[in-house]
Amino acid sequence: MSETYKLDVSRETFDDLERYVTLLKKWTKRINLISAATIPVIWDRHVRDSVQVYRSISGSEGIWLDVGSGGGLPGIVLATIRKHEAPGVKTVLIESDLRKATFLRAVSRELDLKAEVISERIEVADPVGASVISARALGPLEALLGFAERHLAPGGHAVFPKGETWQKEVDNARKTWRFDLDVVQSETDKKAAILIIGGIARV
């Protein structure tokens, strides 16, 4: 694999990400972890997209919580980068589908990640007290902010990659929520954005 030039990660991290991608491809034949159509573009579409979620916010030394992790995007990618760049800090993944949670635990064991997988619904899982929360392809911003309110520690931030309708979602969410917003343009899709959100409170 000669993709390292595209990814802002070390050789060691890249090697672990290759092992993850191998497991993801293997398990997705049995469990629908990613759509079959995206397997040929797995590195650009999924891994690179997840790396940029990590890079969009600095100083994430506390718990990073990824909700609705599915096949581990971005949760497993984040935990893999943290294994090498912030050893000892915990990443928590919430995924209610038991088969997907089993996959996430298997990858975590295989790659020796400091990741905890909680197989419960985000709305009922005990509050995690995370410094950062992320979610990819999970739901509208308005709903994600409810998850952030439940699971973030005071002063924490949410990092939500969003598609081209991000501005509409922000406008809609402002009817229910007050928040500070930074917008980082996506490298993988010029119309998409990563929303960095702090100061979340109900209107």
Ligand X SMILES: C[S@@+](CC[C@H](N)C(=O)[O-])C[C@H]1O[C@@H](n2cnc3c(N)ncnc32)[C@H](O)[C@@H]1O
Binding residues: 68, 73, 122-123, 136
Residue 10 or 165 having the CB closest to ligand X: 165
Residue 180 or 194 having the CB closest to ligand X: 194
Provide long-range contacts, Cβ within 8 A and 24+ apart, for 165-173.
Answer: 166/141, 166/192, 166/193, 166/195, 169/140, 169/141, 169/142, 170/141, 170/195, 172/140, 172/141, 172/142, 173/140, 173/141, 173/142, 173/145
Q: Minimal distance in Å, beta carbon 11 to ligand X? A: 25
Kindly state whether residue 138 participates in binding ligand X, applying the rule CB under 6 A. Answer: yes
Question: How many residues sit close enough to ligand X to count as binding (CB under 6 A)?
Answer: 16
Kindly state whether residue 122 participates in binding ligand X, applying the rule CB under 6 A. Answer: yes
Q: Minimal distance in Å, beta carbon 102 to ligand X? A: 12
Strand partners, 68: none
Between strands 193-202 and 152-162, the pairing is: antiparallel
Residue 73 to residue 69: CA distance in whole angstroms:
6
- Name the closest residue to ligand X (Cβ): 70
Binding mask 65-94 for ligand X (x = CB under 6 A): ---xxxx-x--------------------x
Question: What are the tokens at 16?
Answer: 């672990």
Binding mask 149-178 for ligand X (x = CB under 6 A): ------------------------------
Backbone angles phi, psi at 65, to 5 degrees: -105, 125
Residues of this chain that interact with ligand X (CB under 6 A) are 68-71, 73, 94-97, 100, 121-123, 136-138
